[in-house]
Amino acid sequence: ETAVLANKFRGCMLGSLLGDCLGSPFEAESGPVAKTILQKYFDKMEDPTFKSPVKRYTDDTAMTKSVAASLAQHGAFNEKDMAKRFATEYFQEPRRGYGEAVTRVFRKWRESKMEDVWKPAREQFDGQGSAGNGSGMRIAPVGLFCYRDTDLLVETAAKVGKLTHTHRLGYHGGILQALAVQLCVVQDSKAVVDTKRFCDDLIEKMSKLEPKDEDELNSFEQEPKSYQIQLKLMQKLLQKKDVDNDEVVEVLGNNVLSIYSIPTAIYCYLRAQQPIEFIKTDNIFRRVIQYAISLGGDTDTIASMAGALAGAHLGADSINANILKHCEGVDMAVSLADELLDAVNSPPA
Ligand code: F2R
Ligand code: MG
Ligand code: MG
Ligand code: MG
């Protein structure tokens, strides 16, 4: 029982890391990533004789690390501690490819000496708040830490998100990704995923959070977007055969906004449970990440979120050890996974 969970926690943290490291060289390249180039890239990574400079992680992992370490050390969400870790991490290594706007939050925290940790985020984008996917890219540790308690998970993911992302579609995206991680943790790693049920479950949970009012759903760029709408579109796509990358990007998106990348990442995880014509591998974990990157756009973040789901479902055992050797931060990810599991198993007195 504990060994199964440890494998899943490690798989999730490693999946999040690997998607980031392997996806970041392709981030924001114009157009889709060439399928043959990507196939060779992954084949080489699996080849034990292949040597290459280590693939560095980006902001996605830098922030995930802070979320995991803060939860593990406090045994609960602590806003000041988490904010401090985000800022410290950023000022130590500012060149990890952070979102353009979010660094203003870090600077305001420093200037105000953390007087009100919630305020700088509310001031982003002229008071609209950020709707970027920074909320989802760092949330996997919340899905792990709270996997036994959905109410706590939703509440914690909302707070972790609102430290930097107060737009409804921003922090709701983080909640959605955390809920998906939870589903993957509780799923039997040997069982075939029921993709329809997976979507239905998420739609049901998001329906309790999202506004019922159609007008309110129109708040972002005049487009009627909610996670429920995107999840229903995803469910339809999953039922179609041989959907090509252009259609996926057209329907679900692949950019830095939460609404156009978090459902996409969940779709990648679910779609890649079955063979994909242009991806030659029997390893489902690899297929998920390779497929996510093939969509182009925000490749590090979409692959990282999809990888977290695959890893939480399949466990660290499913990851090719040669691929791990090419990525920065593997030992750190494993330690954080173990610390999180310890914290889950020994709640504070
Ligand atoms: N920043 C990047 N990639 C850019 C290129 C990096 C490359 N390596 C290079 O340096 O050349 N990647 C990282 O950013 C994304 C996560 O961003 P986060 O944390 O959400 O930040 P931010 O700044 O809050 O939002 C990101 C952008 O989203 C748009 N946006 C957000 N809210 C908006 C709103 N209310 N209205 C309009 N636009 C909004 C803005 O363009 C923000 O800059 C990840 O991809 C991570 O990997
Ligand atoms: Mg990044
Ligand atoms: Mg936060
Ligand atoms: Mg990114």
pLDDT tens for the 349 residues of the chain, in order: 789 999 999 999 999 999 999 999 999 876 678 899 999 999 999 999 999 999 999 999 999 999 999 999 999 999 999 999 999 999 999 999 999 999 999 999 999 999 999 999 999 999 999 999 999 999 999 999 999 999 999 999 999 999 999 999 999 999 999 999 999 999 999 999 999 999 999 999 999 999 886 655 555 555 658 999 999 999 999 999 989 999 999 999 999 999 999 999 999 999 999 999 999 999 999 999 999 999 999 999 999 999 999 999 999 999 999 999 999 999 999 999 999 999 999 866 6
Q: What is the pLDDT of residue 150?
A: 98
Distances (CA, A) of 279 to 191, 228, 268, 275, 339: 22, 29, 13, 8, 35
Residue 60 CB–ligand 1 contact under 6 Å: yes
- The residue contributing the CA closest to ligand 1 atom 18 is 134
Q: State the complex-level ipTM.
A: 0.95
Distance 328 CA to ligand 4 centre (A): 17
Listed residues: CB within 5 A of ion ligand 4: 298, 300-301
DSSP, res 113 = T
In-domain check, residue 212: no
In-domain check, residue 161: yes
Instruction: Look at residue 54 and give its three-state secondary structure.
Output: coil
Q: Give the residue, out of 20, 130, 254, with the most ligand 1 atoms within 8 A of its beta carbon, to mutate for a pocket test.
A: 130
Instruction: Look at residue 245 and give its three-state secondary structure.
Output: helix
Distance 348 CA to ligand 4 centre (A): 35
β-bridge mates for residue 223, sequence order = 220
- Give the pair of three-digit tokens for residue 333: 């990810």
Q: What is the pLDDT of residue 191?
A: 92
In-domain check, residue 233: no
In-domain check, residue 204: no
Residue 94 CB–ligand 1 contact under 6 Å: no
In-domain check, residue 136: yes
In-domain check, residue 157: yes
In-domain check, residue 226: no
CATH number assigned to the domain comprising residue 181: 1.10.4080.10
Q: What is the pLDDT of residue 32?
A: 74
| Domain extent at residue 45 | 2-190+248-345
Residue 256 CB–ligand 1 contact under 6 Å: yes
| 212 contact partners, CB below 8 Å, separation of at least 6 | none
Residue 138, judged by CB atoms within 10 A of its CB (0-12, 13-18, 19+), counts as buried
In-domain check, residue 131: yes
- Residue 115 CB neighbour total at 10 angstroms: 9
> Which atom of ligand 1 has the smallest separation from the CA of 135?
20
Quick one: the chain helix, strand, coil %, rounded to 5? 65, 0, 35
Q: What is the pLDDT of residue 28?
A: 82
Q: What is the pLDDT of residue 347?
A: 66
Number of domains in the chain: 1
Q: What is the Cα–Cα distance from 184 to 165, expressed in whole angstroms?
A: 25
Backbone angles phi, psi at 55, to 5 degrees: -85, 120
- Residue 189 CB neighbour total at 10 angstroms: 16
Asked if 53 contacts 319 with a C-beta cutoff of 8 angstroms, the reply is no
Asked if 14 contacts 333 with a C-beta cutoff of 8 angstroms, the reply is yes
Q: What is the pLDDT of residue 149?
A: 98
Could you tell me how many residues make up the chain? 349
